[in-house]
């Protein structure tokens, strides 16, 4: 009997693995993968100031090439469970739809690539023409310091190498097979700080209001684009997300103003060149009049691109073989663990439709789970045949 992605996804949903809890999800995967001949290891990583996180690595085969699937079993909290039509960790199926937290982000993707890997391995008598690996983490929805980034380093230190990887994040926007993510924009946070001189509003000549300065610098940073994009990426964008002076009193000119911002940037920039560009624009606008600084936050989210070529053709061809559709190649959206995988091998993202992720009544059509499993199985057939 072929592995059932609907049953696997349902059973994973029933594991309440809200970040960073394992919730039984990795134990469940260890049981079914180990029983099918995969070598399975569960490893826990720690970092001062952060929760310990348990992760799973499974592999069948010892030869090259090594094709990897990657994903995460941790999920965001369900919120007010009373608002759910079906309990978030019940795994209910109604009218061909499976409900539950993680249904699309991304226990459904894991259920599908686990089912595809089990079926392909069984068809090969447990000896694929190469190797199939599964990298499954427990903190993608959190700060991402004790998950994939460390699991990859741990595997590399043991001599494991990966030739190509598919991350099973929900990549499709509206319907199955509409989008493959071949890259992601980077993400950089910062705080613009303008220092003034506090004083009484009735005596402005004795003060220096930083609000005027920060308004001028915000306007300067938004006056022109950071770039105009390129063949595979939209233009980078800088968005201010808060402006604050911390002033509860209406008759006091504040001494400082702060504005937080986030930049989603394309591969025209590195983090260093992006910071230099922003600072040069602020310095030009400030001149000698405005006292300013930018506090940059650490970021592990660089832009990357897996250029179209043979690997992308394998993935795109598998989608077309199963669905008859030719998916678009995209670099839009937020960050994912693919930003860590790209340091070890070419990586793309392809999974379910992302319309209900993180929402109340997150759900997936059972037909989509069957379709995605067939696509993953076809990817393996194409990959090892080539």
Query: Which residues carry out catalysis?
Result: 74, 140
Contact, 197 vs 255, CB < 8 A? Answer: yes
- Among the listed residues 195, 218, 220, 217, the one whose alpha carbon sits nearest the alpha carbon of residue 208: 195
Reported residue count of the chain is 386
DSSP string, 337-369: THHHHTTTS-EEE--SB-TTTTSTT-EEEHHHH
157-173 core/surface letters (b: 16 or more CB in 10 A; e: else): eeebebbbbbbbbbbbe
Asked if the bond preceding 129 is cis, omega within 30° of 0, the reply is no
Q: For the chain, how far is it from start to end, CA to CA, in angstroms?
A: 27
CA–centroid distance for 346 within its chain? 16
């Amino acid at each position: 009997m072929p592995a059932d992605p609907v049953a696997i996804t349902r059973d994973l949903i029933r594991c309440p693995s809200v970040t960073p809890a394992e919730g039984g999800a990795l134990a469940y995967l260890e049981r079914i993968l180990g029983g099918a001949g995969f070598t399975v290891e569960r490893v826990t990583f720690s970092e001062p100031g952060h929760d310990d996180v348990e992760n799973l690595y499974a592999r069948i085969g010892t030869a090259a090439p090594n094709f990897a699937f990657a994903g995460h079993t941790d999920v965001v909290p369900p919120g007010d469970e009373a608002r759910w039509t079906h309990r978030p960790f019940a795994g209910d199926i109604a009218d061909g739809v499976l409900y539950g937290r993680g249904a699309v982000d991304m226990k459904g993707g894991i259920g599908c690539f686990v089912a595809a890997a089990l079926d392909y391995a069984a068809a090969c008598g447990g000896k694929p023409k190469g190797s199939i690996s599964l990298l499954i983490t427990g903190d993608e929805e959190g700060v991402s310091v004790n998950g994939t980034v460390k699991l990859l380093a741990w595997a590399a230190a043991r001599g494991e190498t990966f030739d190509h990887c598919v991350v099973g994040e929900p990549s499709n926007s509206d319907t199955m097979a509409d989008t493959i993510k071949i890259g992601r924009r980077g993400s950089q946070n910062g705080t613009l700080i303008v220092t003034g001189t506090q004083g009484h509003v009735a005596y402005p000549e004795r003060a220096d209001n930083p609000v005027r300065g920060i308004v001028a610098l915000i306007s300067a940073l938004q006056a022109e684009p950071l770039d105009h994009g390129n063949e595979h990426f939209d233009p980078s964008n800088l968005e201010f997300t808060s402006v604050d002076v911390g002033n509860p009193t209406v008759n006091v000119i504040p001494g400082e103003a702060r504005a937080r911002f986030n930049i989603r940037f394309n591969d025209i920039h590195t983090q260093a060149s992006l910071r230099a560009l922003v600072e040069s624009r602020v310095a030009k606008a400030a001149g000698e009049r405005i006292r300013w600084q930018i506090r940059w936050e650490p970021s592990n989210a660089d832009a990357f691109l897996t250029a179209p070529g043979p690997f992308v053709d394998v993935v795109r061809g598998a989608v077309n073989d199963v669905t008859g559709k030719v998916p678009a190649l995209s670099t839009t959206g937020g960050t994912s663990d693919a930003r860590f995988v790209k340091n070890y091998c070419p990586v793309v993202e392809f999974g379910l439709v992302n319309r209900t992720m993180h929402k109340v009544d997150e759900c997936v059509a059972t037909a989509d789970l069957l379709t995605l499993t067939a696509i993953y199985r076809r990817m393996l057939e194409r990959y090892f045949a080539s």
